[in-house]
């Protein structure tokens, strides 16, 4: 495994591989890898001749008062996991290289970014699309893999790629869950034992919603009320949003269809967690 920090060197390395006809699969992350990330790497190993992984805690997608400084980091641990997963190129760019002092260009996607997380995290998705655009320009992957836990992020990146005619296939993979159902997240390490137990209200509420849909309920308002009532039973959990949206447009829906996705964001103690489920699919 090659570990490259220099932006120019990474670009040259990937360009050489492309000229050799090698297919590059790319997994961009902020590190502190877990089973969700590893599932993306395993799929990337299957789909590409070259597997590239980036680790960069992106400062411009964090808002004021968010956890940029305390976001979990362990590059040695991540490097060991990456090597074991078959990563060929580990890209760990320096902040000053990606964002020099006179940096003044950003990529913004409108519409999809105004609902859900976009309401409470102004500027977040502009930070995401800017860094992903830069990483795509450097690595020039044929395929990039993302987890569906960050459902809105995946939709926004797909729209950016489509609108800007980027020559990369964006593929979303299913959420990887702990044995008890909690969605894997680097931020799960923040949870105290009791908070973690109460956080299971998220997956419980997704399962409740699916049971209602299978029983014939199609009114979004009824399902959302049941979901909110379940979550509010937990004292440590505060709802940020509970919404049923169209999975392509991310607009709120009054009736559940095959295109409906239930999206949740909550605060559990000091930890912000998100989860989602396309209501007509099984929950693994």
**Structural domain that includes position 191:** 186-278
Give the confidence band of 282 by pLDDT, cuts at 50, 70, 90.
Answer: confident
Determine the pLDDT at residue 280.
Answer: 83
Give the confidence band of 52 by pLDDT, cuts at 50, 70, 90.
Answer: very high
Mean of pLDDT over the chain: 97
Note whether 273 and 162 are same-domain residues: no
Q: What is the CATH number of the domain that holds 226?
A: 3.30.1300.10
Section 88-116 average pLDDT: 97
Residue 178 maps to a domain: no
Note whether 80 and 147 are same-domain residues: yes
d(CA 22, CA 20): 6
Domain count, the chain: 2
Tell me the catalytic residues: 37
Q: Which of 173, 200, 227 is the endpoint of a domain?
A: 173
Give the confidence band of 277 by pLDDT, cuts at 50, 70, 90.
Answer: very high
Q: What is the CATH number of the domain that holds 32?
A: 3.40.50.620
Using the predicted structure, report yes or no on whether residue 164 has a pLDDT greater than 80.
Answer: yes
Using the predicted structure, report yes or no on whether residue 284 has a pLDDT greater than 80.
Answer: no
Note whether 68 and 150 are same-domain residues: yes
Angle at 79 between CA 43 and CA 14, to 5 degrees: 60
Residue 241 maps to a domain: yes
Note whether 133 and 234 are same-domain residues: no
Cβ neighbours of residue 220 closer than 8 Å, sequence gap 6 or more: 244, 252, 253, 254, 255, 256, 260
Using the predicted structure, report yes or no on whether residue 99 has a pLDDT greater than 90.
Answer: yes
- Which residue, among 171, 185, 164, 115, has the nearest Cα to 142 in the 3D structure? 171
Residue 181 maps to a domain: no
Using the predicted structure, report yes or no on whether residue 256 has a pLDDT greater than 90.
Answer: yes
Q: Which of 173, 206, 225 is the endpoint of a domain?
A: 173
d(CA 223, CA 140): 42
Residue 133 maps to a domain: yes
Q: Which of 148, 173, 198 is the endpoint of a domain?
A: 173
Residue 283 maps to a domain: no
Using the predicted structure, report yes or no on whether residue 23 has a pLDDT greater than 90.
Answer: yes
- pLDDT, tens digit (0-9, with 9 covering 90-100), for 179-227: 999 999 999 999 999 999 999 999 999 999 999 999 999 999 999 999 9
Note whether 156 and 201 are same-domain residues: no
Note whether 104 and 55 are same-domain residues: yes
Name residue, tokens 């869950």. Answer: 177
Determine the pLDDT at residue 281.
Answer: 85
Determine the pLDDT at residue 56.
Answer: 98
């Amino acid at each position: 495994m090659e570990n490259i920090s220099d932006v120019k060197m990474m670009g040259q390395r990937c360009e050489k591989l492309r000229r050799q006809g090698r297919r590059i699969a790319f997994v961009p992350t902020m590190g502190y890898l877990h089973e969700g990330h590893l599932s993306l790497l395993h799929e990337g190993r299957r789909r590409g001749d070259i597997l590239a992984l980036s680790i960069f805690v992106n400062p411009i997608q964090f808002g004021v008062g968010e956890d940029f400084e305390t976001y979990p980091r362990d590059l040695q641990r991540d490097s060991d996991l990456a090597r074991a997963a078959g990563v060929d190129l580990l890209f760990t760019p320096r902040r000053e290289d990606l964002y020099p002092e006179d940096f003044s260009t950003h990529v913004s996607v409108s519409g999809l970014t105004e609902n859900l997380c976009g309401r409470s995290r102004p500027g977040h998705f502009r930070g995401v699309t800017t860094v992903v655009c830069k990483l795509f320009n450097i690595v020039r992957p044929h395929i990039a893999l993302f987890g569906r836990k960050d459902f809105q992020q995946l939709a926004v990146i797909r729209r950016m790629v489509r609108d800007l005619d980027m020559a990369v296939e964006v593929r979303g993979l299913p959420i990887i869950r702990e044995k008890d159902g909690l969605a894997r997240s680097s931020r799960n390490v923040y949870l105290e034992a009791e908070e973690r137990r109460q956080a299971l209200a998220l997956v419980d509420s997704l399962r409740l919603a699916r049971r209602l849909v299978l029983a014939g309920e199609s009114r979004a308002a009824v399902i959302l009320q049941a979901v909110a009532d379940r979550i509010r039973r937990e004292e440590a959990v505060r709802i940020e949003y509970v919404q049923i949206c169209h999975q392509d447009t991310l607009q709120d829906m009054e009736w559940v269809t095959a295109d409906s996705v239930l999206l949740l964001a909550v605060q559990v103690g000091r930890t912000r967690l998100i989860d989602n489920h396309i209501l007509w699919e099984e929950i693994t």
